[in-house]
Structure 1
Amino acid sequence: MTGLRSSVGTEPAATGRSHTPVVMTAGGLVWRRRGGELQVQLVHRPRYDDWSWPKGKVETGESLQGTAVREVAEETGREIVLGRPLPGLQYLTPDGRVKRVHYWASHRARRKKDAAALAARAPVAPVDRTEVDQAEWLSVTEAAARLTRTSDRGPLDALVHAEEEGTLGTRALVIARHGRAVPRTAWHGAERDRPLTPAGHGQAAALVPVLAAYGVEHVISSRWERCATTIDPYVRAGGLRPSYSENLTEAQHERSPSRVAATVRELLEEATESSVLCTHRPVLPTVLDVLGRHAPRAVADGLPSADPYLEPGEVLVAHVADTPGGPRVVATEKVSPPVW
């Protein structure tokens, strides 16, 4: 994983060429500013007598994003919202397994601003003091010195670099392709009414914890059935009022791609909260083109460039920083929510 772009969906505990078991974990570097100083939160684990970033193992059926949010809440007692991805770590455990850790820059959730995202989340267990007995806010200099493992400084360095560039604080613009739909050849009704398959409904449900992890508070979707149904579980879970647009449908995009481009530009340039836009495969090239025009070359070059761009039910998370020169897409992630 890099600080610019990562492909961090849910990776199962699989075996590589060496058949070494891989333990997937995720967590966050929770940050805040106090008196003009950047601070981060460390936790102490009495079992290991170490200071580290809050993190933990991926549970069955859980996305990496869901794991990060849950584990930070369980270890610090506070809910968070994920921001831009940070460099991850990989190392061997004493029992010979590979541990792979994914991190995100994160900030504490706010009850009013992040109300929908918090409502859409599952309850989190209280802090287990036998697992974590201290959680402290420290300056980045103090944190670097306090960390037990030198390797844990890597994501901290990336976080500090983003702060120095003015791109640490971000909001998410999530681009979702609708879930798997009934094949065109098997559907005899109107194209706009073609529904999701049972697998597609599963993909729609799996999107909920991912969107909640990124603090999505605004939903806009193609008016067609398969898109509206894809974002409906999150709309219901978060108690949101979605916006449905005819401009995001396949038919309208074919007539006027510029209207799709204008919608994406508006979300980039005028939105103040994290959003999700749900649309169709043929519409994605126009959406991605607008994102690329708002991104530095290194990020733009990493955007999906080949059909189908996103698989059914897959999302692209664009992390947007509001800079003096306008909104910039400073990192992206392609996420495939797990369906169980």
Structure 2
Amino acid sequence: MGTEPTTPARAHTPVVTTAGALVWRRRDGELQVQLVHRPRYDDWSWPKGKVETGESLPGTAVREVAEETGRQIVLGRPLPGLQYLTPDGSVKRVHYWAARRARKKHDAESLRARVPVAPVDRTEVDRTVWLPVAEAARRLTRSSDRGPLEALVDAEERGASRTRALVIARHGRAVPRTAWHGAERDRPLTPVGHGQAAALVPVLAAFGVQHVISSRWERCATTIDPYVRAAGMRPGYSEYLTEAQHERSPSRVAATVRYLMEEADESSAICTHRPVLPTVLDVLRRHASDAVADGLPTADPYLEPGEALVAHVSDTPGGPRVVAVETVSPPVW
């Protein structure tokens, strides 16, 4: 997920996984990014921190940036990550995303789904600064931190830095068909499935999801329910996204996905079933370059129960394009 190793890890070497973001903005037509200063190391770097038990990588990135800068963010496209040896001999893996500051009114739904963050600890980060990219590159203490910045600048030059997310979620683990004697549409989630549904909340919040469409069947509706409740939003339910209706008319599923790509101006999520995924992925593939399309799953089951595929969509003169994809597996503890 955006990580490009720069230092090989040896067998049995302790690995520390961290996540963070390059928060960017435009001021007077100029691209600026936010750096933080850590007094413990006396260095300038990107806000980041360790993954906590039960966290997804996107959830960690959002939490750490908020803890170090005092502001909530919305994640955008993934950026190249880093891997390097620390002085104590462990390997640190860092995952990065482009990000923008959350706008309280516009991003109200996703912000309501987040856990409040404590004030900035000035012993951890004592200064933050917005700098033009050229000055930021000079200010960064670690030269390898310039890699994700270069990727962000490249995306900006191609008009692909500002994106919205289209999240495709497969419902959580459900009671097996062979063990369920009711109607197929009513087959419920297992306890693990409920845990996966809860773990999906910070993932959808991290990408600023403000619009949700789900299959009407129980296992999908229940998977998306914790997020819509936490965010205080009204979900949309569609028979077209059910297994039965998809079998009758895949074109209606494709039309739903195209609508969210072409007409929606905010980040959205779809929750559906494994047999429906090939049609959804085909629409994404048609809107992506060959290089990005190669990152889409091609083999059954496409996504595991509870997994989510995040397609990052950029509006271009030729229409919406999928400029990056990533798969997130929310941990369940």
TM above 0.5: yes
Q: Which amino acid aligns with 2:207?
A: Y
| TM-score of the pair, normalised by structure 1 | 0.96
User: Distance between the aligned counterparts of 2:101 and 2:159, measured in 1?
Assistant: 19
Which 5+ residue runs of structure 1 have no aligned equivalent? Answer: 8-15
Distance 2:115 2:295 in 1: 33
Which structure 2 residues correspond to residues 148-227 of structure 1 after superposition, within 5 A?
Answer: 148-227=141-220
Q: Which amino acid aligns with 2:67?
A: E
1:230 to 2:223 alignment: yes
Match of residue 22, structure 2, among 16, 23, 29: 29
SS at 1:267's partner residue? helix
Q: 1:186 to 1:299 in 2, by over 3 A?
A: same
Task: Tell me the TM-score normalised to structure 2 length.
Answer: 0.98
1:10 matched to which residue of 2? none
Task: Give the equivalent residue in structure 2 for 1:12.
Answer: none
Aligned residue in 2 for 1:306: 299
* Aligned position for 1:105: 98
Provide, for residues 111-161 of structure 1, a one-character-per-residue CA deviation record: whole Å limited to 9, x for no partner: 111111110000111101111111000000000000001000000000000
Q: Kindly tell me: are residues 307 and 17 of structure 1, through their superposed partners in 2, closer, same or farther at Cα, counting changes over 3 Å?
A: farther
Q: Secondary structure at the match of 2:67?
A: helix
- SS where residue 194 of structure 2 aligns? helix
| 2:266 counterpart of 1:266 | no
| Total equivalences in the alignment | 329
Alignment partner of 2:241 out of 227, 232, 248: 248
Matching residue within 222, 226, 232 for 1:239: 232
Classify the secondary structure of the residue corresponding to 1:219: strand
Deviation, 1:17, is: 5.9
Question: What is the match of residue 70 of structure 1?
Answer: 63
Letter in 2 for 1:184: R
CA distance in 2, matches of 1:78, 1:324: 32
Partner of residue 13, structure 1: none
Amino acid in the other structure paired with 1:77: G
Question: How far, CA to CA, are the matches of 1:185 and 1:62 in structure 2?
Answer: 33
Q: What code does the residue aligned with 1:199 have?
A: V
Aligned equivalents of 2:222 and 2:135: distance in 1? 48
Q: What is the identity, as a one-letter code, of the residue corresponding to 2:35?
A: L
TM-aligned CA deviation for residue 301 of structure 1: 1.5
Paired with 1:18 and 1:191, the residues of 2 have a C-alpha distance of: 47
Task: Write the letter of the residue equivalent to 1:114.
Answer: D
Within the candidate set 121, 139, 143, 1:128 is matched to: 121
* Percent of residue pairs bearing the same amino acid type: 84
Counterpart of 1:253 in structure 2: which amino acid?
H
Counterpart in the other structure of 1:283? 276
Q: Which amino acid aligns with 1:181?
A: A
State the one-letter code of the partner of 1:173. L
User: Structure 1 counterpart of 2:185, which letter?
Assistant: R
In the aligned structure 1, how far is the partner of 2:287 from the partner of 2:106?
A: 25
Runs of 4+ in structure 1 off by over 4 angstroms are none
Give the distance between the partners of 1:285 and 1:277, measured in 2 at CA: 14
Gaps of 5+ in 2: none
Q: Which one of 33, 42, 45 corresponds to residue 40 of structure 1? A: 33
Q: Distance in 1 between matches of 2:124 and 2:304?
A: 39
After superposition, what is the alpha-carbon deviation per residue over 1:160-212, rounded to whole angstroms, capped at 9, x for unaligned? 00000000000000000000000000000000000000000000000000000
Write the distance in 2 (CA, Å) between the matches of 1:146 and 1:220. 44
RMSD, aligned α-carbons: 1.0
Cα distance in 2 for residues equivalent to 1:267 and 1:288: 13
Q: Tell me, in whole angstroms, the C-alpha distance in 1 between the residues paired with 2:55 and 2:201.
A: 11
Q: Aligned partners of 2:53, 2:174: CA distance in 1, in Å?
A: 26
SS state at 1:337 partner: coil
Give the secondary structure class of the aligned counterpart of 1:88.
strand
Match of residue 140 from structure 2: 147
**What SS does structure 1 have at the residue aligned with 2:229?**
helix
- Cα gap change, 1:100/1:245 in structure 2, threshold over 3 Å: closer, same or farther? same
Q: 2:314 is matched with which residue?
A: 321
